[in-house]
Structure 1
Amino acid sequence: MRTCRRALTVLALTLPLTAMGAVPVVDDNSGSAGSSYPPSGYGTAGAYAGGGATAQPSAQGQLFMQLQQMQDEISRLRGIVEVQQNDIQQMKQEALDRYKDLDSRIGAGGAPAAPAANNSASDGGVNAGGASAASAGAAAAQASQTSTEPGDPAKEKLYYDAAFDLIKAKDFDKASQAFAAFLRKYPNSQYAGNAQYWLGEVNLAKGDLQGAGQAFAKVSQLYPKHAKVPDSLYKLADVERRLGHTDKVKGILQQVVAQYPGTSAAQLAQRDLQRL
């Protein structure tokens, strides 16, 4: 009996201990049973710092980046505007220079600078663009065939003066039309050389560089002995410069200096050659 009682007593004492050993350990601070340790999110900042994950930019960061991009775009646009303003200013200055130059030439008078005999082509005449005197004579002969009226100096002068008055009135479109019509009617007139030259001036004042260059070139081609040839060649060099044909400018200026020494055009050409 004593042995049975001792066995029961030992069994009663060992059962609670066995039951306690089977109960799992629960971390009360984790908020739920079975959660991992360390808690979720632990060390996240350290992972960002160490490159373990890519941090998304905050709203403030995104706003800063957008502002920076806008500032860069504004700076680029300002640069474009400044370039355009400089180009416009240069164009205005060139137009003003053309008008001043035209005014000074108008003030010098529009009367013919050479008699009718000097309008015809002759041996030894110069030609812009490398045309020979013979080709200039052929061009003049071809132009004479377009004349629709016989020569009448009084009528020609009235027609020419009317066209020149349009220049004084700054009506360059009508002046261009008037001089072109005059040259079609009276290509052999004593006023034709002057009319051809002023047609170039009018087209230049209009900003028609192609038309101006063609008109100036024809002065030396059709009227190689005319007194306006040096001026027309110098103005042709100016047109070629404006068109960006720098390879032609130097040759024309050298032609003026070599073949027309002592003229105002030669002096201006020499100055321009020194600047090239």
Structure 2
Amino acid sequence: MRTCRRALTVLALALPLSALGAAPVVDNNSGSGSSSYPPAGYGTSGAYAGGGVTAPASAQGQLFMQLQQMQDEIARLRGVVEVQQNDIQRMKQEALERYQELDKRIASGASGAAAPATNNSQPAGGAIDAGGTPSAPAAQQAPAAGTEPPDPAKEKLYYEAAFDLIKAKDFDKASQAFTAFLRKYPNSSYAGNAQYWLGEVNLAKGDLQGAGQAFAKVSQQYPKHAKVPDSLYKLADVERRLGHTDKVKGILQQVVAQYPGTSAAQLAQRDLQRL
């Protein structure tokens, strides 16, 4: 019996030693990737271990950065929208001012076209009333090629019809009517006025290029016309709206120097002080 117990004891002591002998030996100097410490995947969850995927903490950081970028982009877009809204509001205000100014000019010129027709493009031409209609006769020029011969009655009706389109605020048709009138009757007593009102109509439409060309032609083609100071002042306003600030000062100075005492000169002097 004692012999059996001794044999069991020896066997029990020998088992752990055999187990240890079977355990693999790790050589830290082998250079193998599998022998690194800590082992691959240590300290990571099963969903991220060994898969090359960013750990949860890094994913949260990326999400935070994306959110920050989105907030920055939203702030930038808000700034763009605010600028556009300000531009729209400014254009609406400018359009309203143009309409209001045009209404005043129409009101002052509504009774204009009843006077006898004269050639206001001539230096000896008569004065122009508030509506831009000549009030004293002058000699007519010979019609140019492609134009109709002078017909004061027809010219008067044509001019009044175009002016009525302005009062009706049908600016597209008014622009077409004045353009056609000037093509048919370039030497008419109403031509200088038609040229000026063509500029006003184009300005009311927002056609700055067309308005500038029309206003410039008043002084170029009808240099003695009473509308020249007003047309030059309006031309300066158009150049300002187009951003041609280098031209504005010269035009305003021309109005003040050449047409003193006119309302256009007073407005030009005021604008020069603001520049």
TM-score with structure 1 setting the length: 0.72
Task: Give the distance between the partners of 1:38 and 1:102, measured in 2 at CA.
Answer: 88
1:109-153 per-position Cα deviation (integer Å, ceiling 9, x unaligned): 15269973541258xxxxxxxxxxxxxxxxxx8x94145322121
Which of 5, 21, 34 is 2:25 aligned to? 34
Which of 115, 118, 142 is 1:116 aligned to? 118
One-letter identity of the residue aligned with 1:196: Q
Between 111-120 and 185-194, the greater mean CA deviation after superposition: 111-120
Aligned to 1:175, the other structure's residue is in SS state helix
RMSD: 3.1
Contact 1:147 1:186 in 2 (8 A): no
1:81 corresponds to which residue? 81
Q: Which runs of 5+ in 2 are unaligned?
A: 1-9, 27-34, 45-53, 125-140
Contact 1:26 1:34 in 2 (8 A): no
Task: Give the distance between the partners of 1:58 and 1:37, measured in 2 at CA.
Answer: 23
1:53-110 per-position Cα deviation (integer Å, ceiling 9, x unaligned): xx85533222212111110110111111111111111111111111111111101115
1:266 corresponds to which residue? 265
Cα offset for 1:264?
0.7
Query: Which structure is higher in helix share?
Result: 1
Task: Give the distance between the partners of 1:149 and 1:247, measured in 2 at CA.
Answer: 40
Task: Give the distance between the partners of 2:36 and 2:169, measured in 1 at CA.
Answer: 94
Cα gap change, 1:175 to 1:117, in 2 (>3 Å): closer
One-letter identity of the residue aligned with 1:171: D
Aligned to 2:148, the other structure's residue is in SS state coil
Aligned to 2:109, the other structure's residue is in SS state coil
Task: Give the distance between the partners of 1:263 and 1:87, measured in 2 at CA.
Answer: 33
Cα gap change, 1:39 to 1:158, in 2 (>3 Å): closer
Using CA pairs below 8 Å that are at least 6 residues apart, which structure has the higher relative contact order?
A: 1
Aligned to 2:226, the other structure's residue is in SS state coil
Cα gap change, 1:38 to 1:252, in 2 (>3 Å): closer
Task: Give the distance between the partners of 1:98 and 1:39, measured in 2 at CA.
Answer: 80
Task: Give the distance between the partners of 1:264 and 1:199, measured in 2 at CA.
Answer: 20
Cα gap change, 1:261 to 1:39, in 2 (>3 Å): closer
Task: Give the distance between the partners of 2:93 and 2:153, measured in 1 at CA.
Answer: 40
Larger Rg: 1
Cα offset for 1:40?
4.0
Cα gap change, 1:26 to 1:210, in 2 (>3 Å): same
TM-score with structure 2 setting the length: 0.72
1:4-41 per-position Cα deviation (integer Å, ceiling 9, x unaligned): xxxxxxxxxxxx9xxx9xx69959xxxx6435897648
Contact 1:146 1:184 in 2 (8 A): no
1:95 aligns with 2:87: no
